[in-house]
């Protein structure tokens, strides 16, 4: 008999910045999946939080929007800002490469 759990195959499905790769096991009865973020990071998440849009990225989106806000307010013009800017651009380039490889 098939187990009572409904198994949805999310492989290759993309939600916002995250693309489902493969099932990564269970945590407290909930199915976890390995998601690849556009920035190149991987995250283990429950599909529900991704499908509902609760989680849109590995966390890079939050970081980026924070740095964009900081730029708008002109609060970080030196040092730290350059670093964030650099990380942001590298992430963006990696995302571009990932997209073209499809």
Q: What are the residues binding Zn ion (CB under 5 A)?
A: 37, 39, 41, 57-58, 60
CB of 62 to Zn ion, least distance (A): 9
CB of 15 to Zn ion, least distance (A): 13
The rounded distance, in Å, linking the Cα atoms of 61 and 41 is 12
CB of 42 to Zn ion, least distance (A): 9
Q: Which C-beta is closer to Zn ion: that of 20 or that of 37?
A: 37
CB of 71 to Zn ion, least distance (A): 19
Q: Which C-beta is closer to Zn ion: that of 41 or that of 76?
A: 41
Q: What is the 3-state secondary structure (H, E, C) of the chain?
A: CCCCCCCCCCCCCEECCEEEEEEEEEECCEEEEEEEECCCCEEEECHHHHHCCCCCCCCHHHHHHHHHHHHHCCCCCCCHHHHHHHHHHHHHHHHHHHHHCC
Q: Which C-beta is closer to Zn ion: that of 31 or that of 36?
A: 36
Q: Which C-beta is closer to Zn ion: that of 51 or that of 95?
A: 95
């Amino acid at each position: 008999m098939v187990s009572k759990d409904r198994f949805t195959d999310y492989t290759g499905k993309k939600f916002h910045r995250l693309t489902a790769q493969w099932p990564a096991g269970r945590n407290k009865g909930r199915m976890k999946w390995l998601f690849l973020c556009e920035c190149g990071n991987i995250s283990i998440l429950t599909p529900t939080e991704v499908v509902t849009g609760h989680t849109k990225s590995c966390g890079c989106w939050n970081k980026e929007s924070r740095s964009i806000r900081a730029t708008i307010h002109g609060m970080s013009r030196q040092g730290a800002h350059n670093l964030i800017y650099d990380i942001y651009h590298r992430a963006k380039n990696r995302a571009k490469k990932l997209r073209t490889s499809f």
